[in-house]
Amino acid sequence: MDILIRENYDQMSVAAAGIIADLVRSKPNCVLGLATGSTPVGTYQELIRLHKEEKLDFARVKTFNLDEYLGIGIDLSLPYEKDQSYARFMWEELFKHINIKKVNFHVPDGLSSDPFKFCREYEKAIERAGGIDLQLLGIGGDGHLGFNEPGSSLYGPTHVEALTQQTLDDNFELFYQNSGIPREKMPHFAITMGIGTILKAKQNLMIASGKKKAGIVASALEGPITSQITSTALQMHPGKVTVVLDREAGANLKKIDHYQHVEALKARYFSK
């Protein structure tokens, strides 16, 4: 696991986008797993800049999103005003600004008439695409990845998950701001890639920012592996895991000096 510390959110975002861009350049038909929320917005903005200013080409890239609220979804061909779906988030924050083909991006269907069947089909679609080359991740306030809440299986596939009160509380302000939907009508379930699905990705890239995440980041990266903090499963990833943090999010790490030492060594001996 490589843990990279950057001074602030902007530097974190540029570093994360650079890792994704390197993959897109080296494998133009790569499969990306993408995340939503406030943390990856800066990463997406940098990818958009790279596309517009440096011709980063997404024409052959395929994407699969981590999750979607159950009961919410959109038709991108229709006009809209307020919409809190993650499909709309991805369209607004990334997809409409780059040259990705609509047929190549996938977000779980929160309006599926049979969400349990949809979960099985989503897994098959990822397999048909050749698996995920790089999965971008944020981390929830209780350490969850996607919507894999405390107690979720560390080997599970895409599934329907009941959301905890902490997740509802953490997400409410942004949810209400964008949708106007009151707290009592927030979706209490979501479709999410399972931890097993996430760990199948050839590479995981987790990003975190701000002092509110410092404690849970330290638990995820340096604490014991437990289903109560599903992000600890990253410690078991059989391939490559890169974590990019701003200074505040990494403040509670006990071995931060070592992580910076390792990054410097690798830059010295393995840089292109």
Largest CA distance in the chain: 55
pLDDT digits (tens, 9 = 90+) for 109-153: 988 999 999 999 999 999 999 999 999 999 999 999 999 999 999
Q: Please answer whether residues 143 and 213 qualify as being in contact, where contact means their C-beta atoms are separated by less than 8 angstroms.
A: no
Q: Which amino acid belongs to residue 103?
A: V
68 counts as catalytic? no
d(CA 96, CA 74): 15
* Catalytic-labelled residue, pool 46, 68, 149, 246: 149
* Catalytic-labelled residue, pool 67, 123, 170, 246: 67
Please give the tally of structural domains in the chain.
1
The token pair at 255 is 């071995």
Q: In sequence order, which ranges of 135-213 are alpha helices (DSSP H)?
A: 165-179, 195-200
Site of tokens 């790279």: 50
- Summary mean pLDDT of the chain: 91
Average pLDDT over residues 254-269: 92
* Catalytic-labelled residue, pool 144, 170, 246, 248: 144
In this structure, how many other beta carbons lie within 10 angstroms of the beta carbon of residue 88? Answer: 20
With CA atoms as reference, report the closest residue to 145 among 272, 23, 7, 241: 241
Whole-number pLDDT of residue 120? 98
CATH code at 242?
3.40.50.1360
Whole-number pLDDT of residue 28? 98
With CA atoms as reference, report the closest residue to 148 among 74, 232, 208: 232
Range of the domain at 237: 2-270
d(CA 35, CA 20): 13
Q: Which residue has the higher pLDDT, 86 or 220?
A: 220
Rounded to an integer, what is the distance from CA 48 to the centroid of its chain?
17
pLDDT digits (tens, 9 = 90+) for 186-220: 788 999 999 999 999 999 999 999 999 999 999 99
List beta partners, residue 2: 242
d(CA 141, CA 171): 10
In this structure, how many other beta carbons lie within 10 angstroms of the beta carbon of residue 3? Answer: 22
246 counts as catalytic? no
Average pLDDT over residues 73-82: 46
Q: Which amino acid belongs to residue 190?
A: A
237 counts as catalytic? no
* Catalytic-labelled residue, pool 2, 57, 83, 142: 142
pLDDT digits (tens, 9 = 90+) for 4-44: 999 999 999 999 999 999 999 999 999 999 999 899 999 99
pLDDT digits (tens, 9 = 90+) for 216-236: 999 999 999 999 999 999 999
The full length of the chain comes to 272
149 counts as catalytic? yes
d(CA 167, CA 143): 10
